[in-house]
Structure 1
């Protein structure tokens, strides 16, 4: 009898496992079909981008990952006929990327790399000053910077954690510094758009007593709070500059090299394992680039604040509208943090 019951139990377990497997495969097949359909839509929409002027686009963090994918898609759909600037630290990677861009045929079109260590605010100011001196206008400012070398807090000489510097403070400073060039594009009746590729809709409650996470720093706190920082600060930028588009995007799960530079071997391997397990539901950086470009071009058709999801569509869930008090407090804190280096170096 016990043998019979064991046989029945074993058969039932196998049937349940088979059912779970079939369900999982069906889910993945349906998801893949939906994603491919969405990708075709994005590519088709991107191919119709044909401005009457030569667009100027800056890709901050465009030497790898999603930033690279978006820059490549932009170059491809403009047929190289744009002034494209990639900002970052890896000159070799940038020049390799640029070498594969379509050869431009329009007058004034060119592709270049600008070196900048984006962990330091003083470096960003030197870079933006140089750009403003030679760029009469900027149409698209795309920011996708991120850096993870340690899980714990790792302060720069300016007193800012490196992860926060690349993911938040550096983005703020680059945007704030480049506003004159974006406003010049508006004055010429051209598109002026700021595109933050980060984690729209993924933010949690902010600890307003510890902005910058100097007292309660944890890696999970960075992941939970900083996306909301970006939601709030892009809203404030939009209110101060109503003629410019400010967009916060969530690219979804993308296969990139983020995490490969983590110094701790166990943590680096853990990160790689997580990415491997997520492979069936993740996308390549090139696919993400098409989606992100689609989102940017679509949202840039009108001024104001918006959020974009992983398919490049307007995000309708998890919306967080900050109060005037929240916007003011975060703005003042951020201006202070991104200016502190001046008193340190004087």
Structure 2
């Protein structure tokens, strides 16, 4: 277990990082992502921060960014209005970053929700709980790879369920057949497909450090909603602590394929990577092992099947978006 004291010592060194660190946050309007955004902005010098919010959340998120500008006026804070439950909206996010930046150091993705009320497809024909937790995240990484690869030590942190992957319904990856869908199955598919896709990115981009973090129960608005549906974990991490630990995962060289950010604190060793080359991390910052399941999926080339399916989904979403524009 990485103690919170160690996390805080490490985070205190972020101020020594080179100026103009560029970070994109998807999912920072509340919960873990919001806390991570606040903590990173508090520590880093002259950051270029990009954060995404839906139209309904713009006003409240802009208020948050205003407080960050006051607490760290050396930073630049950019709000991108987009709905990440739509894959086609991700292109807007990426374009906004690419117009202003020549590299991206950190991509932090924590958007998502549990669809307790059932599946209600978006205009793209997708389950929004899976889109926010899988499709939109992978679309972001796919299109930002050119800028990530220009950074000295690029890092991706995806907050979901690293190490908690499970079996896939390989004949219905999108769980489109109603009997196959449940809020739990959509969660398992999102996490497992996410790990397989992130491992593929890691293999093709060997300088890219990727962390898939399972934070466990965290005292966020999402957990408050879960309680209404009968889920009441006996213990949970505070939102503040989750943000501190998230920033540690995003900056400590413990989770780097090569150095470049914050050197490891004494007593720590480089975290172990999965057989596919990414860091699967538990709530306390330790590596987890799910190789029995993941090795079998890789051996049977399910990872390639997942990515082929994902690319078809992306192509369909792009075609729908293009058709909508033509109709206008």
Q: 1:159 to 1:260 in 2, by over 3 A?
A: farther
Gaps of 5+ in 2: 259-276, 324-328
Alignment counterpart, residue 88 of structure 1, candidates 50, 53, 63: 53
Who is 1:327 aligned against?
303
Instruction: Choose 1 or 2 for highest CA Rg.
Output: 1
User: Which range moves more in the overlay, 142-151 or 205-214?
Assistant: 142-151
Moved over 4 A (4+): none
- Corresponding residue for 2:273? none
Are the aligned partners of 2:114 and 2:183 in contact in 1 as well (CA < 8 Å)? no
Q: Counterpart of 2:213?
A: 249
Q: Quick one: distance in 1 between partners of 2:305 and 2:38? A: 37
Does the 8 A contact of 2:130 with 2:187 survive in 1?
no
| Structure-2 change in CA distance of 1:318 and 1:112 (3 Å) | same
Q: What TM-score results when the alignment is normalised by the length of structure 1?
A: 0.79
Q: Which residue number in structure 1 is paired with residue 124 of structure 2?
A: 158
Which residue pairs with 1:147 in the alignment? Answer: 113
User: Does 2:182 align with 1:218?
Assistant: yes
Counterpart position of 2:267: none
Please report how far the alpha carbon of residue 256 of structure 1 lies from its aligned counterpart in structure 2 after TM superposition. 0.9
CA shift digits 1:173-201 (9 cap, x unpaired): 1111111111121xxxx221111011111
Counterpart in 2 of 1:27?
A: none
Higher helix proportion (structure 1 or 2): 1
Structure 2 equivalent of residue 203 of structure 1: 165
Question: How many residues were matched structurally?
Answer: 293
Q: Equivalent residue for 1:337?
A: 313
Q: Does structure 2 conserve the Cα–Cα contact (< 8 Å) formed by 1:192 and 1:300?
A: no
1:168 paired residue among 113, 117, 134: 134
Shift of 1:150: 4.9
| Aligned residue runs from structure 1 range 300-319, under 5 A | 300-302=255-257, 304-311=277-284, 313-319=285-291
Matched residue SS, 1:246:
strand
| 3-state SS, counterpart of residue 160 of structure 1 | coil
What secondary structure does 1:48 align onto?
A: helix
State which of 237, 241, 244 in structure 2 corresponds to 1:283: 237
- Distance, in Å, in 1 between the alignment partners of 2:131 and 2:256 is 30
Give the 3 Å change call, closer, same or farther, for CA 211–239 of structure 1 in structure 2: same
**TM-score (ref. length: structure 2):** 0.83
Tell me what 1:55 maps to: 21
Tell me the equivalent position of 1:46.
Answer: 11
CA distance in 1, matches of 2:117, 2:199: 29
* Cross-structure match for 1:137: 103
List per-residue Cα deviations over 1:229-255 (Å, max 9, x = no partner).
Answer: 111111001011111111111111101
Where 2:107 maps in the other structure, the secondary structure is strand
Displacement after TM superposition at 1:296 (Å)? 2.2
Moved more, 137-146 or 321-330: 321-330
| Cα displacement (A) at 1:127 | 2.1
Deviation of residue 260 (structure 1)? Answer: 6.1
Secondary structure of 1:281's aligned partner = coil
Task: Name the SS for the 2:46 alignment partner.
Answer: coil
Gaps of 5+ in 1: 1-33, 262-267
C-alpha displacement of 1:208: 0.8
